[in-house]
A and B are shown apart, each in its own frame.
Chain A
């Protein structure tokens, strides 16, 4: 049975939601690992959860990348194991250089907590393996800095190599302005690295894994993670 490490930084606040989804909903083994640890030996996947690591006072994710645990996270990524960053975790992966681009302040200049529609742009990533290509899921965002930015060259590369994992769309699956409230370039909600084992996404599957929470579409993303991890063990 794979073991999932949920890395906890000072200021993280979604670690228990991720753990609950994996452990209580899917029956997997997920443990919280403090950021001062320097090893992730024995774990098959790492998840960097959402929150406000170190208060996000400098630049989102900018201090967290210096935590001892980040060397272990990088080693896991190099080993081809799944490394997932959700929201603040995505921002940390960008700061650590494991994923490209940066997050600007939302174009509204406000924090936005809202259910949005996402389109899965590829069905072979650790977070989309059990989805159909092009499947629409409804998953909330909760961030002030989710306005994905990268230079044109990087954006071209991401598109050419099909490294966009999720895009913000409307209910019909089409891109439009109102479906992309943070203003992300190319409506990007999630991307992967060249090897396809590191995924960052701004929306929170950890907030919608049971229908009473609004939708249970987030469950599908965690099921993907479990399946992908087992397939690549």
Chain B
């Protein structure tokens, strides 16, 4: 193969190749070229994003481990640490939805237990094209079944997430998986190889020819030949991973372990050179000792295989028998395949010959870094605000509400989350479908709340605002359940970074995330960037997804989103403006996707969080629900529906200087809908005044109907049961179309 073809096959540029040659002082052999190809891929090296990610705040008083390890670690008190991260598996989930999504879950779970944590909760953020397209229906079915299969078999509850439908994700779904684990604070394991002569073990599943060049595949766009890339998708074995999880946690209780890293993207190559580079050491491995599923695998294939459910670990010399005994109990392979050396080299032996020899840091730390061109798209300046008066007024707002509740983005996601085991471990105290997932921590009074949020439509129209809003909405969701944010992780899903307009979106989104995280005091402790989300040259909406984790000191103070008692008073916390730009209403009812997304004032948002913190800790709220897609109208409707099928009506009357559809469906940020027992009203009013948050009483709970009056005129009067039926069944109806 001539050099140009070889480089193209490895997705390396001529400049990158020249850098490799000058670093090595020689031409790389084919194995070494493969190593550079995966380690310098966008997916592993972050070569386009690195200069921007540096701007994110990553430090905080509770941060025990920021970005750069397998996952972030935050102190949660009681001697415990929360370990969490979100990661994308978009490309594989398009090529093979079931296995692509399943192995995304498997990969993020490994990242968590690698750090010594017992995984206790999963979430996922999913985006699909419209269900009217048959292929999107099959992608949805496959991805959901894959996520369910892996998470359920692992015995880790999937407690929340989000699912969004937009044309933009047609044939380019996004599958972002999040996992959170708990570890003793003093016993976090890192992935830095140490101690010359210490043995390097390979544990878990055998290596096969699957997923070769998966990381490189994920670093390029799709074209009509995407289907042919199916062999680059790995195949998951959750049972193997369950055994691996239990064996690794047992090993971590012993004194045999020095360092451990999972084999994810770029498999054996990535784990070896990263562990070596982090510890400033060399690692020598003998491929003849690697357990293999099939014969006749070349060194190149063994190095680049992305077979799942494998870990690399460094043990203390002399404790080999202990490692072997633990893995033997779980009927798993544990093979000593090499040792830590002092020369800083990744040296690979096969058939007694050295087949690759490269300094670890060249591969792991010294990949190319690009400051790619940025260019603001011309369309950005033309976006203007959209007000109620700019669209036709619906003649029947009850019908409009039904139409909105049928929108797949707003409709109940029970068809999806009921396929996920969300109750195993018996800690789930808020069911999926609420503002945030909440799990109690047994043996302590506290609970952890978590959510994933992003709004690609906002980000496409204003990427800075899209980034900042994702953080604000996540933190608001946590505020709604009574939690205080302690740390965040991000998954940045974008198009081709070589296009200046995409890179501008990325840079803007990062700035938005930075500003919001700084204002709310929430550090980013890790995450993932997914570029090249393009099919046939068309990019997805820029989609920054933020996962925030928060603490509820006293789990009994956790607040649910739905109305609890008849006769409670309904309050809107925050102010409503006439902001229909980029709204779900504009899209679902008027078929328009344009306009300026709702403004975000970080100080106003922070004041709301402050009020919620005090109100929830004083138990003043019977229910609280974040306002987002669909605005007040949808928040009211969703508050009528409890997670176990219970319902409650409400009578609402609102005075506002604007049209009813503007009142109900404006997506003004920084608002929460709450219900309050009459006796708590005075205390809440005083608190709101102190925090400078406008408070308006808009109704009372009870009955079997939803009645809404606006400016003295009847707007909506519907049976709750009818509204719920529409909302509950919309996705099933969409799937059977």
Q: Which A positions have Cβ atoms within 8 angstroms of B?
A: 10-14, 16-17, 20-21, 24, 50-52, 54-57, 110-115, 138, 140, 142, 144, 204, 206-209, 212-214
> B256 an interface residue at 8 Å Cβ cutoff?
no
B136-158 interface bits toward A, Cβ cutoff 8 Å, 1 = contact, 0 = none: 00000000010011001111000
B419 adjacent to A142 (CB under 8 Å):
no
**Once the chains bind, are B238 and A55 in contact (CB under 8 Å)?**
yes
A209 in contact with B419 (CB, 8 Å): no
Task: Select which of B145, B422, B425, B556 is within 8 A of A17 by beta carbon.
Answer: B425
Contact B238 A17 (CB under 8 A): no
Q: List residues of chain B with CB within 8 A of the CB of A140.
A: 423
Given A111-B148, A208-B426; 18 other pairs, CB 8 A cutoff: A11-B239, A14-B155, A17-B426, A52-B153, A52-B239, A55-B237, A55-B238, A57-B239, A110-B145, A111-B418, A113-B422, A142-B152, A144-B152, A206-B426, A207-B426, A212-B429, A212-B440, A213-B429
**Could you tell me if B424 and A52 are in contact, using CB atoms closer than 8 angstroms?**
no
Among B153, B423, B425, point to the contact of A16 (Cβ < 8 A). Answer: B425
B442 partner, pick from A20, A55, A142, beta carbons under 8 A: A20
Which chain A residues lie closer than 8 Å to B417 at the CB level?
113
User: Within 8 Å CB of A57, what residues of B?
Assistant: 239
The answer on a CB contact under 8 Å between A213 and B428 is yes
Query: With the chains together, A114 CA to B418 CA distance in Å?
Result: 6
Interface contact tally, CB-CB below 8 A = 91
Bound CA span A114–B145, Å: 16
Residue B166, interface by CB 8 Å: no
How many residues does chain B have at the interface if contact means C-beta atoms less than 8 Å apart? 34
Closest to A51 in B: B155
Chain A proximity of B565: nearest CB distance (Å): 16
Query: Interface centre among B145, B149, B153, B556, by most A CB within 10 Å?
Result: B153
State how many angstroms separate the Cβ of A126 from the closest Cβ of chain B: 21
Asked if B625 is an interface residue, CB under 8 A from chain A, the answer is: no
Q: Which residue of A lies closest to B414 (CB)?
A: A114
Which residues of A are found within 8 Å of B431, using beta-carbon distances?
214
Give the chain B neighbours of A214 by CB distance below 8 A.
423, 431, 644
A211: shortest Cβ distance to chain B, in Å?
Answer: 10
Tell me the residues in window 422-479 of chain B with beta carbons closer than 8 Å to chain A beta carbons: 422-426, 428-429, 431, 440, 442
B421 at the interface (CB under 8 A from A): yes
Sampled A-B contacts (17; CB under 8 Å): A10-B239, A11-B153, A16-B425, A51-B155, A52-B239, A55-B240, A56-B239, A110-B145, A111-B149, A111-B421, A113-B419, A142-B423, A207-B424, A212-B555, A212-B558, A213-B428, A213-B429
User: B330 at interface (Cβ–Cβ under 8 A)?
Assistant: yes
Question: Does B242 make an interface contact (CB < 8 A)?
Answer: yes
Cα separation A204 to B442 with both chains bound (whole Å): 19
Contact code string B310-349 (vs A, CB < 8 Å = 1, else 0): 0000000000000000000011000000000000000000
Contact A213 B426 (CB under 8 A): yes
Which residues of chain B come closer than 8 Å to A50, judged between CB atoms? 424
The docked-state distance in angstroms from the alpha carbon of A126 to that of B240 is 35
Q: In the assembly, what is the distance between CA of A190 and CA of B148, in Å?
A: 25
A115–B417 Cα distance when bound, in Å, is 13
**B440 → A minimal CB distance (Å):** 7
Binding site for A on B (CB under 8 A): 145, 148-149, 152-155, 237-240, 242-243, 330-331, 417-426, 428-429, 431, 440, 442, 555-556, 558, 644
User: Please, which residues of chain B bring their CB within 8 A of the CB of A10?
Assistant: 239, 242-243, 330-331
In the A-B complex, the 10 residue pairs with the smallest Cβ-Cβ separation, listed nearest first, are A13-B155, A55-B239, A207-B423, A17-B426, A52-B153, A212-B429, A142-B421, A111-B419, A113-B421, A110-B419
* Contact between chains at B423 and A213 (CB < 8 Å): yes
* Contact A115 to B644, CB < 8 A, known contacts A55-B237, A207-B424: yes
Contact present for B331 and A55 (CB under 8 Å)? no
- Interchain nearest-CB distance for A203 vs B (Å): 11
CA A101 to CA B555, docked complex, whole Å: 42
Q: A16 — which chain B residues lie within 8 A by C-beta?
A: 425
Least distance between B415 CB and chain A CB atoms (Å): 9
Contact B154 A13 (CB under 8 A): yes
Central interface residue in A24, A54, A56, A213, by most chain B CB within 10 Å:
A213
Report whether A55 and B153 are in contact in the complex, using a CB–CB cutoff of 8 Å: yes
Distance between Cα atoms of A115 and B432 in the complex (Å): 13
Chain B residues within an 8 Å CB radius of A14: 155, 424
Contacts of A206 in B (CB 8 A): 426
- Shortest Cβ gap from B84 to chain A (Å): 20
Q: Which residues of B contact A21 (CB under 8 A)?
A: 426
Smallest Cβ distance from B501 to chain A, in angstroms?
41
CB contacts (< 8 Å) of A54 on chain B: these are 239
Which residue of chain B is the closest to A214 with respect to CB atoms?
B644
Q: What separation, in Å, do the CA atoms of A214 and B431 have in the docked complex?
A: 9
Identity of the chain A residue whose Cβ is nearest the Cβ of B237 in the assembled complex:
A55
Residues in B neighbouring A12, C-beta threshold 8 A? 155
Complex Cα gap A101–B338 (Å): 51
The residue on B at minimum CB distance from A210 is B426
Cα A20 to Cα B443 with chains together (Å): 11
| A213 vs B422: C-alpha distance when bound (angstroms) | 11
Known contacts A55-B239, A111-B148: does B426 contact A20 (CB below 8 Å)? yes
Chain A residues with Cβ below 8 Å from B442 are 20, 24
Return chain A residues, CB-CB under 8 Å to B331. 10
Task: For the complex, give the distance between the alpha carbons of A144 and B240 in Å.
Answer: 19
**Nearest chain A CB to B408's CB is how many angstroms away?**
18
Instruction: Say yes or no: A204 contacts B153, CB within 8 Å.
Output: no
Inter-chain contact B426/A52, CB cutoff 8 Å: no
* Minimum Cβ distance to chain B for residue A77 (Å): 26
Shortest distance from the beta carbon of B587 to any chain A beta carbon, whole Å: 29
Looking at the complex, which one of B238, B419, B440 makes contact with A112 (CB distance below 8 Å)? B419
Q: How long is the Cα–Cα vector from A140 to B240 in the complex, in angstroms?
A: 27
Q: Which residue in chain B gives the minimum CB-CB distance to A16? A: B425
A8 nearest in chain B by CB position? B246
Q: How far is the CA of A138 from the CA of B644 in the complex (A)?
A: 10
Cβ contacts under 8 Å, A111 to chain B: 148-149, 152, 418-421
With contacts A10-B330, A11-B153, A14-B155 known, is A142 near B429, CB below 8 A?
no
Known: A110-B145, A214-B644. A13 touches B237 (CB 8 A): no
Which residues from A are CB-within-8-Å of B558?
212
- Other-chain residue from B145, B153, B418, B555 in contact with A113 (beta carbon distance below 8 A): B418
CA–CA, A16 and B644, complex, Å? 25
Q: Judging by beta carbons under 8 Å apart, are B239 and A13 in contact?
A: no
CA distance A24 to B440 in the complex (A): 15
Q: Who on chain A is nearest to B149 by CB?
A: A111
B444 to chain A, nearest CB (A): 13
Q: Which residues of A contact B426 (CB under 8 A)?
A: 17, 20-21, 206-209, 213
Q: Complex Cα distance A200/B542, Å?
A: 50
A114 nearest CB neighbor, chain B only = B418
Identify the closest chain B residue to A213 (Cβ): B426
A219 to B243, CA, bound (A): 30
Q: How far is the CA of A207 from the CA of B238 in the complex (A)?
A: 22
Kindly state the separation between the CA atoms of A111 and B237 in the bound complex, as whole angstroms: 17
Bound CA span A208–B426, Å: 7
Given A110-B148, A112-B419, A17 and B424 contact (CB-CB distance below 8 Å): yes
CB distance from A171 to the nearest CB of B (A): 8
A114: chain B residues within 8 A (beta carbon)? 418
Residue of A nearest to B152 (CB): A111
Given contacts A111-B419, A113-B418, contact A13 B424 (CB under 8 A): yes
How distant is the Cα of A171 from the Cα of B185 in the complex, in angstroms?
45
- Most chain A Cβ neighbours within 10 Å, of B148, B237, B239, B420: B239
Q: Which residues of A contact B145 (CB under 8 A)?
A: 110
* Closest CB in chain B relative to A84 CB, distance in Å: 17
Contact residues in A for B423 (Cβ distance below 8 Å): 113, 140, 142, 204, 207, 213-214
B421 contacts across to A, CB distance below 8 A: 111, 113, 142
Complexed CA–CA distance, A207 and B428 (Å) = 9
Of A14, A113, A214, the most chain B CB neighbours within 10 A belong to: A113
A212 CB, min distance to chain B CBs, angstroms: 5
Given known A20-B442, A115-B644, contact A11–B242 (CB-CB < 8 A): yes
Which residues of A have CB within 8 Å of B152? 52, 111, 142, 144
